[in-house]
Amino acid sequence: MQVTLRIMRFDPEKDKKPVMKSYKAEVEPTDRVLDALNYVKWYEDGTLAYRRSCAHGICGSDAVIINGVNRLACKTLIQDVGKTITIEPLAGFKVLKDLIVDFEPFFEQYRSVLPYLINNDPKPIKERLQSPEDREKFDDTTKCILCASCTTSCPIYWANPDYVGPSAIVNAHRFIFDSRDQAAAERLDILNTRSGVWRCRTIFNCTEACPREIEVTRAIEDVKRAILYGES
Amino acid sequence: MYHRHDAVIVGAGGAGLRAAIELCGKADVAVVSKLYPTRSHTGTAQGGIGAALGNREEDSAEWHAFDTVKGSDYLGDQDAIELMCQEAIGAVYDLEHMGLPFSRTEKGLIDQRRFGGHTRNFGEAPVMRSCYAADRTGHMILQTLYQQCIKHNVHFYDEFHVLDLIINDGVCCGVIAYELATGELHTFHAKTVLFATGGCGKMYKVTSNAHALTGDGMAIPYRRGLPLEDMEFFQFHPTGIYKMGILITEGARGEGGILLNGKGERFMERYAPTIKDLAPRDVISRSIYLEVREGRGVEGKDYVLLDLTHLGSEVIETKLPDITDFVRTYLGIDPVKTPIPVQPTAHYAMGGVPTDVNGRVLADEKGNVMPGFYAAGECACVSVHGANRLGTNSLVDIQVFGKLSGKDMARFCAETDYTPLPEDPEGKVREEIERLKLNTGNESAAKIRTELQAEMMDNASVFRTADSLGTIRRKLEELQERYKSVRVDDKSTIYNTELMEAYELGFLLDLADCLVVSAEARTESRGAHCREDYPKRDDVNWLKHTFAYQTDSGIKLAYKPVTITKFEPKERKY
């Protein structure tokens, strides 16, 4: 079938501002939107720039706005988005070219929450023990692929780029609630600041945007409660 | 631009990051990757990492080694395999100590599940050896290693595409990279370089591999005159989602899933009576092709069914959540209620850049090493996988040999000085980029790539013959010729991804050539290399590794004996 792709293009070497351009692509209804982007790049206009790698929703490269909604192009089927598909770069990040945005501020915020296990006890010879129940407490937030769909769907983030954003909080949550970790207090201090969790107004855009179906807003609320009541 | 680091690691997947962690504090280390590190393909590994922890039932590293040797169809080097299986145990504990959230047993230990080809007591019955984190073990490994790199302040060069290796007077002294964001060339001057760039599955039409897997780290040294080992052995994973090739983990069968043909028969009972659906991947992929060929595919088509419906929703949702999501997303069916259409998908290159157990790259079949140059992970060939890799052993490989490479690089960095760079090290890359950008020819990289992938699938996949390999060899000559006229429309410098795709196609074509010529020469069937015109394994003539060299007068082949320690080659039955 033939679909029309309306793609927001921006070439920093030529354009002053982004322009919407239309392309036709031959695809199957069960193809991914990424397949349609590939069709355009490979057969219509080689200059189109976007990121992609695994093509099945794990690497987190190809989050874009599809018909107004943050989605992974490789996890969205043509049959689910209709015959005219509008594709734009993620909102809130600087556009570098076409659908490619600047991820550096995103990773900076990720790094700011100490996203790694901190445990200063001597390492045992074998594994540290953890009950299945304790393991379950942070299971949801281990699924994050750092695609930025959540952070770039958040109106608070659009207005305050200093806000650490849902994704960084998800990654802090993953350690705050890990029974093997010893630095929950430090992370809670970081998130208990002006740019931390209190910026969140529970709008739920992040939860809806997450391609991994992480309950992002719930994770943020868990962190807020941990700050207030010390439940970690 | 010029950069200098003691150790430059190319590729930010499991092997590269593991090596980086090992080097932290011992040398100035930088990781250069064409992707953001967390986009690396290690993240898509699902079912687990094999190690004889014995958390669920009795197990031993020796049994693991035997299974790996037998799985390799006796082509794996047994000294390296024994070392890997022994080290695997510590590697898993290392990951746990770094924070990897493994699934847990009731006692709080790392949980383990069954996997293809892994058995107790030298082949008696399947054993629970695969240490897993639901069905996203690779994702957890990649995330955990990246987290540790952040903790240790590893220097990353993200979206820098390495295109050449700098060699001066037989010593490796750096790499040349193209920065995607600016189009600028960078010279990385180093005492040691590790290639950990992954596989080359994009030479096939149906593959589980990411778009990025174009074999750069194999093709670059090959073009510099270094050999590639055992490239004819390419693994087809039996359960890729029909037509799309997306992987459905072997863990699905480890949890009790079974394969059914079009008549509803559990056909693996006929091909592998002892371990059935948990036979190694080469055996199952061939069985599926044979079922289809004999008219027992589903609805006369080229696929079979992976049936999980008897496992119940609890097991499926908790132990296999990601693949359940894939099946629902891409096929619109619910694996709890409906069997999944699957077909073999190009998955893993057993061959690659030859190394010793410390990751040091071999410059020839005699075992001489190239000082300063290391390789680990899928782009390397130690060889621990021989003619067929067992499931879970790729993750073992990247952790064990990533670490050992890092260790030896640290030693080398401490003992040696920088080798001076040759004159104009960027010259060759600059020329090739200019050639591609200025080319006025009419060939499209996408069309050549599509033809390459289709023809490789038809002629050099699960079954091969002299005829099919001859056909694809001639086709490759044509494609190589047409590649000279590839036109790149994008002339820009910022994120010129069309230029890089064209460059990558050149790598894929060279590697396909290497694979096909190595496969034509090997007149036997062993592991993933199945010659219908030579259906038997031939230990008298072919118990040896292929070393292929690109020369001005074509590809030259040489051979290196297999190292055998305690497991004498036997007939391979499951």
Interchain contact, A97 vs B495, CB within 8 Å:
yes
Computed from CA positions of residues B488, B201, A51, B219, in that sequence, does the dihedral angle turn out positive or negative? negative
In this complex, the residue of A30, A51, A117 whose CB is nearest that of residue B99 is A117
Q: Which of B431, B363, B488, B366 is nearest to B178 (CA)?
A: B431
* Full-model pTM: 0.97
Q: To the nearest whole angstrom, how far is the Cα of A188 from the nearest Cα of chain B?
A: 18
All residues of chain A having their beta carbon less than 8 Å from the beta carbon of residue B347 are: none
Q: To the nearest whole angstrom, how far is the Cα of B419 from the nearest Cα of chain A?
A: 34
Interchain contact, A61 vs B35, CB within 8 Å:
yes
All residues of chain A having their beta carbon less than 8 Å from the beta carbon of residue B102 are: 127, 135
Interchain contact, A56 vs B106, CB within 8 Å:
no
Q: What is the model's pLDDT at position A232?
A: 63
Interchain contact, B44 vs A46, CB within 8 Å:
no
Q: Which residues of chain A have pLDDT under 50?
A: none
Q: What is the model's pLDDT at position A193?
A: 95
Instruction: For chain A, positions 5-24, list CB contacts with chain B under 8 A.
Output: 11-13
Instruction: For chain A, positions 143-162, list CB contacts with chain B under 8 A.
Output: 143-146
- B360/B122 Cα distance (integer angstroms): 31
B281 tagged catalytic: yes
Interchain contact, A77 vs B148, CB within 8 Å:
no
All residues of chain A having their beta carbon less than 8 Å from the beta carbon of residue B210 are: 53-55, 59
Per the residue annotation, which of B129, B253, B281, B572 is the catalytic one?
Answer: B281
Q: Which domains does chain B have, with CATH numbers?
A: 237-346 (3.90.700.10), 427-543 (1.20.58.100)
In this complex, the residue of A50, A135, A174 whose CB is nearest that of residue B104 is A135
- A38/B501 Cα distance (integer angstroms): 12
Domain range summary for chain A, segments of one domain joined by +: 2-101, 104-229
The residue to which tokens 């993200």 are assigned? B158
Scored b (16 or more CB within 10 A) or e, B226-260 reads bbbbbbbbbbbbbbbbbbbbbbbbbbbbbbbbbbb
pLDDT in tens, chain B (574 residues): 999 999 999 999 999 999 999 999 999 999 999 999 999 999 999 999 999 999 999 999 999 999 999 999 999 999 999 999 999 999 999 999 999 999 999 999 999 999 999 999 999 999 999 999 999 999 999 999 999 999 999 999 999 999 999 999 999 999 999 999 999 999 999 999 999 999 999 999 999 999 999 999 999 999 999 999 999 999 999 999 999 999 999 999 999 999 999 999 999 999 999 999 999 999 999 999 999 999 999 999 999 999 999 999 999 999 999 999 999 999 999 999 999 999 999 999 999 999 999 999 999 999 999 999 999 999 999 999 999 999 999 999 999 999 999 999 999 999 999 999 999 999 999 999 999 999 999 999 999 999 999 999 999 999 999 999 999 999 999 999 999 999 999 999 999 999 999 999 999 999 999 999 999 999 999 999 999 999 999 999 999 999 999 999 999 999 999 999 999 999 999 9
Interchain contact, A135 vs B107, CB within 8 Å:
no
- B156/A12 Cα distance (integer angstroms): 25
Q: What is the model's pLDDT at position B63?
A: 98
* CB-facing half-sphere around the CA of A61: CA atoms within 13 A: 26
Substitution target in B94, B102, B104 with the highest count of A β-carbons within 10 Å is B104
B515 in Cβ contact with B460 (< 8 Å) = yes
A58 touches chain B (CB under 8 A): yes
The residue to which tokens 């897993």 are assigned? B132
SS3 B53: coil
- In words, the CATH class of domain A2-101 is alpha beta
Interchain contact, A132 vs B106, CB within 8 Å:
yes
All residues of chain A having their beta carbon less than 8 Å from the beta carbon of residue B139 are: 58, 143, 145
CATH of domain A104-229: 1.10.1060.10
C-alpha dihedral (B467, B470, B472, B473), degrees to nearest 10: 170
